[in-house]
Every structure is written in C-alpha cells, then in structure tokens.
Amino acid sequence: MATASGPLATPLPVPAAAPRPVRQALSRDDLVMRAGLGLLVLWLALSVVLPLWALLEKAFSGPAGEFVGLANFAAYLATPALSTSLGNSLLIAAASTVICVGLAFGYAWALTRTCLPAKALFKAIAAIPILAPSLLPAIALVYLFGNQGFARWALFGHSIYGPIGIVIGEVFWTFPHALIIVTTALATADARLYEAAVALKASRSRIFWTVTLPGARYGLISATFVVFTLVITDFGVPKVIGGSFNVLAVDVYKQVVGQQNFQMGAVVGLVLLIPALFSFLVDRLVQRRQAALLSARAVPLVPAPDRLVDRLALFFCSIVAFAILVVLGTAIFASLATFWPYDLRPSLKNYDFDNMDGGGWESYRNSLEMAALTALFGTAIIFGGAWLVEKTRRFEGVRGLVQLLALLPLAIPGLVMGLGYIFFFVEPSNPFHFLYGSMAILVICTIAHFYSVAHLTAVTALKQLDPEFESVSASLKVPLWRTFFKVTVPVCLPAILGIALYLFVNAMTTVSAVVFLYSPHTQLASIAVLNMDDAGDIAPAAAMAVMIFLTSAVVRGLYGLVTRGLLARTQAWRRR
C-alpha cells in the first residue's frame, strides 16, 4: 500500500450524522493561557479601572463619602478661579500646540523630504527633551529669561513668569512627541504621487499644498491632539514658571496637595479627562485612516538634492536644534555654577542634595530603583500580556476586554491616574491598602500610566512573527511556554528592549502621577526637582534635573550598545 496501488475509488457517501456543534477540548496550554489572561484582566482592573472608578466616585461624594450628586461640580463652577484657569489652560494648550506642531512639521519635513546633512545628529538632538523631566526646560528658562537671565533682553521687558514661560517650556517638552508622529506620517509618502505631480509640471509650492500636506494630514491631526492633551494636563512647567498664571493642572494639585480637598481635586481631574478622552478617540480614528494610507503606499520617496531647499532646511533645523541644546546647556551650566549669578566658578555644591529639601541623593537612588523595577516588571507584564492577547486561541471576549483595557491608559492623563490611585489605595478598607506609600505602588502606577504605548509596541512586534509558530509547536507537542522563551522572546528582543527603555526613561522623568503617591522614604528625583524649586533651591533643582537627564541618556546609550551587541551575537540569523 506504500505505492499508488491503494484503493482509489470514490468513497461511498455514507449518510451523514445529524450535525452537532463541535467544541474543541482545551489543552493544558489553552488553560494556562486563559488563566494568564484572567490574571491580566485582574491586574488591569486593579491598576487602571478601579482607581479611575475611585476618582469618579470621589467627584460625586461629599467629605464623609456620602453621595452628593453634582454638588461638587456646582461648587466648582461657582468658583471664580475656574473660568480663569480654564481659559488660561486652553490658551496655553492652543498656543503651545500650534507652535510645537508647526516646528515639528518643519523639522520632520526637513528630515524626510530634503537632503539635510547629519540627519542622525539632528534626530538625536530632537530626542533630548524626552530624556528630561518637563521641569528641566522650565528651570532653564528661569536662568535664561528670569530677572537675572542672560537672555532677558529677548523678551522685551515681558516676564518669563507666566504664559510666555509656560508656552516655551511646553513646546520644548512636547516637541519630540509631535516630531515622532509627524515624521512617521511624512515617511509614508508615495513617491509615485510626487512623480505624477512633477510630470504635470506642478510647482514646488503647489506640490507641497496638494500632495505633501494632505498626505501628512492625519499625522498632523494626531500630533495636534497629542500635544494639546500633554500640555493641558502637564503641571510641571506651569508649576515652576507659571508665576501667578493659574492653569487647571495646577489647580488639581493645589486642591489635593495644598488644601487636601480631594473631592474638588477629583472634579478638576474629571474636567482634565475630557480633552484627553476626546484626543484619544480622535487619535484612534486617525490612526485607522493613516494605516489605510500606509497599506496603499508602494514606492518610498527618496528626496532629491536641491541646494536652496536643503540649505533652508539646514538653517531651520539648526535653529531648532540650537534652541534645544541651549536649554539643556543652560540647565547644566546653572547646576555647576557655585552661586548663580554672582559666582559662576564651577563647583559641585548644587549636587550636595543631602542637605536640601527634596529627599537628597536617596531620592535619586529611589528613582533608579523605581525605573529599573518598572522597566523589569512592566516589560514582563506588558510583553507577556500582549503575547497572551495575540496567541490565546479563541476566548475572544476576554481578549477583546484586555485589548480595550490596555489602550485605556492612553486616555488618562498621569495627573488623573495619580489621583485615582490615592483615592483607591488610601481607603483602609481596601485589601491593597498596604501598598499605599510603598515603592510598589509607584511602580504599579507608572506601569499602568505608560501601559498603552508599550503594549502597542509589543503587539506590533508580535504581529510581525509568523502566526504559525504556535501551530507548529502544537503539532510538535512542544509546550507553548517553550516556544515563547526559545523563539518569541529572542526574535522580539529588540522590541522588548525598546519597551524596557521606554518604561525606564518615563519612570525617571515622570512627575504627574507619582507626585500624589510618593512617601518620605520613596521620594523620587523628579519630585525632588519640584520640591527643591518650590523651596527656592533652584540650582540644586536644575542639578537633579540634569542627573535625571544624564541617567536617561546613559541608559539610552547603553540600550543602543546592547541592542547592537545582541543583534550581532544572538541574532546572527538576521544576517544572510
């Protein structure tokens, strides 16, 4: 029977059995993965949903926890400061967004559409603000444009304390975020459109308005909303340089930390949630459109040299890069001056954090610990979670729920997240109350705060794997965890390290969520910056901000080295 001589006749159509639905039995892998997903749902419920719920609850209840309906909102609306703060916030956010997205578009355009020299350098410089807390530009601005600032003349007598300072600081801080989005949008251009336009003898400016801009429109919309949300919910910059110019984000802080008025804090927090949610929805919508553009593209555009345009691009990018370097340089210089502005000899006096407000060097060590733990556990949870979502068979309901919960943090500003955390964990009746004031709560909150972007990165990486790896493993009777560790993790290592870096840097620089959650023995460096600035120790504040920047930069550099080394060593298979 080993040859073609087998029985070849058409099989008799045996009367078919009555149809009965088939339910495949679950293998141990299936059970383990479902259990894993269940745990993930619990985790996300605990670290995202319940705190948010606690915030909502707080906004509708009185000081004793009784339900008061909209009374808190009514009280808030009756406060005259509200309209001022709201107006101020909108003004600042609008101005910062226009300037930031405009600059980012120019910069991204130069990076993607011209033969700008030293592109790698310009890219690296543009990424600097991400490595520093938002407080760093604000502090640097005090040194640049404050009453003793060496570039004070540039403000023509206006004060840096107020809207001008806030806008400059916010633009600096949000620039890389906008740049990444717009660059991605511009990078998906289809060269054929340009060839067609050139063939039709369209002028350069006509091409710009009819091809370039429409092609990048989704990126621009997305960047606009992202920056707007970042600015309206940030309180680091206005706190340091806002002077008497009140904004919503600072109001929350004032209500909660300054006056311990949790209900009112929750109300303002909810107000802040509105633009964030709105921006989240628009972003989701736009992302889908952008993806459609992307899948349709065929020929990547290679910019052709053009002397005039390339020079203009170089000029523009140089100015922006110079501004970024000046801000960073000022912070470093000020932190090293013995006594600004009277004694500019270099000294490390301002790095003697142990004798200042803010928790001293211990806060720096705490930050390192927090960032390392966040990177470690966050990467494990987020990548493992994304893998479970992608690879669990069937179980659609729970997988969909996890997807939703994983994206939810994208719509929650850090400030609101932090508030939710205190409201949720401070209750002595909460079984997780013991976490309150611990390092663990900072790590959990930070992981939750930055979950979405890391999750999306992981999903993208996983989607690039052959979907049949798991099928092959099952057919070879290999347990799935083995394939996870032997194949999935090694192949996704660059993405995994990328996630770890993202979490580490954000954990080092974040202020907004953790400012409500730290305790004396879990002081963090970024919060020390805030507190030292508050106490007037602005040079040490600059010094600590510089320490945060340096740490992030070093870790970023290490990441570069390690990924290169890893790729060379363990990923020899990538080379042909």
Partner 1 sequence: MEAVAGAAAPAAPYLRIRGVTKRFGTFTALERVDLDVEAGEFVAFLGPSGCGKTTLLRAICGLDPPSEGTILQGGRDVTALPVRERDFGIVFQSYALFPNLSIRANVAYGLVSSGRPRREVERRVAELLELVGLGDQAEKYPAQLSGGQQQRVALARALALRPGLLLLDEPLSALDARVRARLRGEIRDLQRRLGITTIMVTHDQEEALTMADRIVVMNRGRIEQVGRPDEVYARPATAFVADFIGKMNFLAGRLLAPDRAEVAGAELLFEPPLALGPGAPVTVCLRPEDVVVREVERRPANRLTAEVGVMEFIGNHFQTTLHVPGTNLDLSAYLSINAVRDLGIRPGRTIPICLPPDRLRVFPEPPRPS
Partner 2 sequence: MSSTRRRFTGLAVGALALATTAAAARAATELTVYTALEADQLKAYQAAFEKANPDVKIRWVRDSTGIVTAKLLAEKANPQADVVMGLAATSLMLLDKEGLLLPYAPKGLEKVKPTMRDPADPPKWVGMDVWSSALCFNTVEAGKRGLEAPTSWADLTDPAYKGQITMPNPASSGTGFLMVSAWLQMMGEEKGWAYMDALHQNVAAYTHSGSKPCRQAGAGEYTIGLSFEYRANKTKKDGAPIEVILPKEGLGWDMEAIGIVKTTKKLEAAKKLADWAVSEEANRLYAQNFAIVALPGIASRLEHVPGDIEAMLIENDFAWAAANRERILAEWSKRYDGKSEPRS
Please report, as ranges, the residues that interact with partner 2 according to CB under 8 A.
Answer: 81, 142, 146-148, 161, 235, 238-239, 242-244, 246, 250, 253-254, 257-262, 338-343, 354-360, 428, 519-521, 534-539
Angle at which helices 439-449 and 360-391 cross, to 10°: 50
Neighbours of 58 (CB within 10 A): 24
Is 569 among the residues that bind partner 1 (CB under 8 A)? no
Window 9-48: contact mask with partner 1 (x via CB under 8 A): -xx-xx-xx-xxxxxxxxx-xx------------------
Between 15 and 431, CB nearer to partner 1: 15
Between 309 and 375, CB nearer to partner 2: 375
Which residues have a Cβ under 8 Å from the Cβ of 44 and sit 6 or more positions away? 402, 405, 406, 408, 448, 451
Between 30 and 57, CB nearer to partner 1: 30
Distance, in Å, from the CA atom of 552 to the CA atom of 555, rounded to the nearest integer, reads: 5
Cα R_g (the chain), whole angstroms: 27
Q: How far is the CB of 243 from partner 2 (least distance, A)?
A: 6
Q: How far is the CB of 211 from partner 2 (least distance, A)?
A: 46
Is 563 among the residues that bind partner 1 (CB under 8 A)? no
Between 377 and 469, CB nearer to partner 1: 469
Q: How far is the CB of 1 from partner 1 (least distance, A)?
A: 4
CB neighbour class for 453 (10 Å; exposed up to 12, middle 13-18, buried from 19): middle
CB neighbour class for 19 (10 Å; exposed up to 12, middle 13-18, buried from 19): exposed
Between 25 and 296, CB nearer to partner 1: 25
Token pair 């493993």 is at which residue? 473
Cα–Cα distances (Å) from 349 to 356, 360, 543, in that order, read: 11, 13, 10
Between 345 and 575, CB nearer to partner 1: 575
Q: What angle do CA 85, 91, 97 make, to 5 degrees?
A: 130
Contact region with partner 1 (CB under 8 A), list: 6-14, 55-63, 88-96, 261-269: 6-14
Between 391 and 455, CB nearer to partner 1: 391
Q: Which does 58 bind (CB under 5 to 8 A by kind): partner 1, partner 2, none?
A: none
Q: How far is the CB of 526 from partner 2 (least distance, A)?
A: 16
Contact region with partner 1 (CB under 8 A), list: 77-85, 205-213, 287-295, 567-575: 567-575
Ordered DSSP codes for 228-251? HHHHHH--HHHHHH-TT---HHHH
**Residue 246 amino acid letter:** N
Q: How far is the CB of 566 from partner 1 (least distance, A)?
A: 11
Window 466-505: contact mask with partner 1 (x via CB under 8 A): x-xx-xxxxxxxxx--x---xx--xx--------------
Q: Which does 433 bind (CB under 5 to 8 A by kind): partner 2, partner 1, none?
A: none
Phi and psi based region of residue 427 (left: phi greater than 0; alpha: psi -120 to 50; beta: remaining): beta
Q: How far is the CB of 537 from partner 2 (least distance, A)?
A: 6
Q: In this structure, what are the phi and psi dihedrals at residue 405, rounded to the nearest 5 degrees? A: -65, -35
Cα–Cα distances (Å) from 397 to 40, 56, 338, 392, 403, in that order, read: 14, 26, 61, 11, 10
Distance, in Å, from the CA atom of 465 to the CA atom of 468, rounded to the nearest integer, reads: 8
Token pair 């203009």 is at which residue? 312
Q: How far is the CB of 405 from partner 1 (least distance, A)?
A: 25
Between 16 and 308, CB nearer to partner 1: 16
Q: How far is the CB of 410 from partner 2 (least distance, A)?
A: 27
Q: How far is the CB of 375 from partner 1 (least distance, A)?
A: 23
Q: Which does 20 bind (CB under 5 to 8 A by kind): partner 1, partner 2, none?
A: partner 1
Window 152-191: contact mask with partner 1 (x via CB under 8 A): ----------------------------------------
Q: Which helix (H) or strand (E) holds 565?
A: helix 538-569
Distance, in Å, from the CA atom of 357 to the CA atom of 355, rounded to the nearest integer, reads: 7
Between 345 and 576, CB nearer to partner 1: 576
Distance, in Å, from the CA atom of 207 to the CA atom of 11, rounded to the nearest integer, reads: 66
Q: How far is the CB of 358 from partner 1 (least distance, A)?
A: 46
Q: Which does 574 bind (CB under 5 to 8 A by kind): partner 2, partner 1, none?
A: partner 1
CB neighbour class for 95 (10 Å; exposed up to 12, middle 13-18, buried from 19): middle
Question: Could you list the residues that contact partner 1 (CB under 8 A)?
Answer: 1-4, 6-8, 10-11, 13-14, 16-17, 19-27, 29-30, 466, 468-469, 471-479, 482, 486-487, 490-491, 570-576
